[in-house]
Amino acid sequence: MSVNLILIMMGNFGATEILLILVVVVLLFGGKKIPELMKGIGQGMKEFKKASQVEDEADKKNEEPKKEEKK
């Protein structure tokens, strides 16, 4: 997702607002915890994409016999 799309979805934030949000996040979680949080988010996204692909493949396998039966 591009940064512009994220900004449009969240509203019209400027650089000052984004910087303020980043400062608050650093204060809440500390500098050492942020890489761990990002790693966890990345792993979660990776697993979600993998699960989505497995479901898509299962759906395609279920649809293929139906197409052959119609012929």
pTM > 0.75: no
Say yes or no: 5 and 38 in one domain.
Answer: no
- Count Cβ atoms below 10 Å from residue 18 Cβ, excluding itself: 13
Query: Average pLDDT of 41-57?
Result: 86
Say yes or no: 23 and 44 in one domain.
Answer: no
Say yes or no: 65 and 49 in one domain.
Answer: yes
The pLDDT value recorded for residue 47 is 92
Say yes or no: 35 and 64 in one domain.
Answer: yes
Say yes or no: 38 and 9 in one domain.
Answer: no
The pLDDT value recorded for residue 4 is 67
Expressed as residue numbers, the domain containing 60 is: 31-71
User: pLDDT > 90: what percent of the chain?
Assistant: 10
For the purposes of burial, counting CB atoms within 10 Å of the CB of 7, is it exposed (0-12), middle (13-18) or buried (19 or more)? middle
Say yes or no: 36 and 3 in one domain.
Answer: no
pLDDT tens string 14-48: 888 888 988 888 888 888 888 888 899 899 999 99
| Overall domain count for the chain | 2
Say yes or no: 7 and 18 in one domain.
Answer: yes
